[in-house]
Amino acid sequence: MQNHQLEIRTAIQILKPAGEVYEAIIDPAKMSNYFISKGSGRLEDGKEIKWQFPEFDMEFPVRVVKTEKDKYISFHWDQDETELLVEISLNPRKKDFTVVTITEKGMENNESGLKWLRGNTEGWANFLSCLKAYLEYGINLRKGAFDFMSDKE
């Protein structure tokens, strides 16, 4: 039996134009309204930035691979010493709608990989829901949502 690598794939439609969605993802000032607490810079080709999350006193390095304005963002980050590739695709629909699809890949199909698959699938679905709430309604769904996971207690 082959041990295939696992891949996450999740998507949502956001009722905003692709340019607005793209900026909300690459700009840390905007991203801090729904996902991170702080980012060290914009997502730009070849750049390494650091993300901080509200619940944790750690920085997470993100190594940007490629950005294509209003269409595509990819980056690497690490999970249990495995480099993972995250790809975010923006597909305009109708006049001002955008389908955002996220894939993350690179974990082995084993117990550790299945744990990652469950946790990060939930994480990316949460990211998309929070992005949609922020862009469409100006709401930060993440605020206080994960305080129970905090390492700050």
How much is the pTM? 0.91
Residue pair 12/99 in contact by the 8 Å Cβ criterion: yes
Q: Is 65 helix (H, G, I), strand (E, B) or coil?
A: strand
Structural domains in the chain, sorted by start: 5-26+69-144 (3.30.530.20)
In this predicted model, what pLDDT tens digit does every residue of 19-38 receive, in sequence order? 999 999 999 999 999 999 99
- What confidence tens digit (pLDDT) does each residue in 33-63 have? 999 999 999 999 999 999 998 877 788 999 9
Residues 75, 84: Cα–Cα separation, whole Å = 8
